[in-house]
Amino acid sequence: MRVLGIETSCDETGVAIYEEGYGLRAQAVYSQAEVHAAYGGVVPELASRDHIRKTLPLIHQVLDDAGIESVDGVAYTAGPGLIGALLVGAGIGRALAWAWQVPAIGVHHMEGHLLAPLLEDPAPAFPFVALLVSGGHTQLVDVLGIGRYRILGESLDDAAGESFDKTAKILGLPYPGGPALASLAKQGDPKRFCFPRPMTDRPGLAFSFSGLKTHALQTWQTERERAADADQLRADIARAFEEAVVETLVIKCRRALRLTGRRRLVLAGGVSANRRLRQRMDEAIATLGGQTYYPRPALCTDNGAMIAFAGYQRIKSGQHEPLAFAPRARWPLDELIPAEVGAV
């Protein structure tokens, strides 16, 4: 079975083909970073217009790269995300499925991220705990099987990736801010500042990163007037901020593994590509006798491969959708129904 996956939830157009017994046949991603850089963030209308321009050419490209002319199913991101952007991918995906007379399925964007590590070798076996950490979400999920998810904790305000981007903007770093801040943090002095680790001094698995961003802002405003080297100050704040986010995520993940009794931890989403996070998480989980799993960096950010794979799992289990489609800007992960393939 071959499934075409289309991802258009925000500012990246991703298309891929997943084939049963083979794996990824082809994939392509177009980033809109240059389109939105002048505005310092994603402009929804511009994102939608760019998806319209890029989605069909990318579909032609991956079909050519894979050397095939047909697929057995089409998967598209149905939410959560920017509603205009979602409508582009959903409309194109559903139209192609109708024309090709194959089943179509709308995929939950975060389920795509959650399942992306299953594309790697070795792949984690169910059950496991997943940390979904991206620009829009920070969630700890107990995963029993595909579609069998229990939310253990999530952010009460800003997601980790969102706080990275906002702090980068405070420091005057270019868009996209998260990767720029992580790169700058490598030059920072780890001993100059120590930022708070929010909500780690109380029980539970909830997150809060809004106050940490405010702390970075106050530090920048207080220190920059007397700083001899503004560039080094930026780097030191970036380092302190990154360390605070990373340690907070590590503490909560260790707590989640103890609570559930699991020994496997999956990290997915854009922030999971952060090298410092991977290093610290590997060290911390190893002390518990556990194992960490990640997708390759190219599959951490939004991409069509994760949508093709998640769609394949659901189509294989017999799920598909009628001609009518209804993308959702907001869509709780725990509302998904199970797909029997791989469940425990």
Known binding residues for substrate: 132-136, 165, 178, 274
Binding residues for Fe cation: 109, 113, 302
> Quick one: CA dihedral 34, 38, 39, 41, positive or negative?
positive
Residue 236 buriedness (CB in 10 A; 0-12 / 13-18 / 19+): buried
Does residue 190 have a cis peptide bond before it, meaning omega lies within 30 degrees of 0? Answer: no
User: How many Å apart are CA 258 and CA 260, to the nearest integer?
Assistant: 6
Q: How far is CA 189 from CA 106, 136, 193, 227, 306, in A?
A: 46, 29, 8, 14, 37
| Consecutive H or E run containing 106 | strand 104-108
The annotated binding site is made up of 109, 113, 132-136, 165, 178, 274, 302
Contacts 24+ apart (CB under 8 A), 187-192: 187/232, 187/235, 187/239, 188/232, 188/235, 188/236, 188/237, 188/238, 188/239, 188/240, 189/232, 189/235, 189/236, 189/239, 190/239, 190/240, 190/243, 192/236, 192/239, 192/240
Rounded Cα distance between 247 and 252, Å, is 9
Residue 274 to residues 55, 131, 162, 221, 319: CA-CA distances in angstroms? 28, 13, 14, 26, 35
Query: Could you tell me which of 322, 335, 307 has the C-alpha nearest to residue 115?
Result: 307
What Rg do the C-alpha atoms of the chain give, in angstroms? 20
Cα dihedral 87, 93, 98, 99, rounded to 10, equals: 120
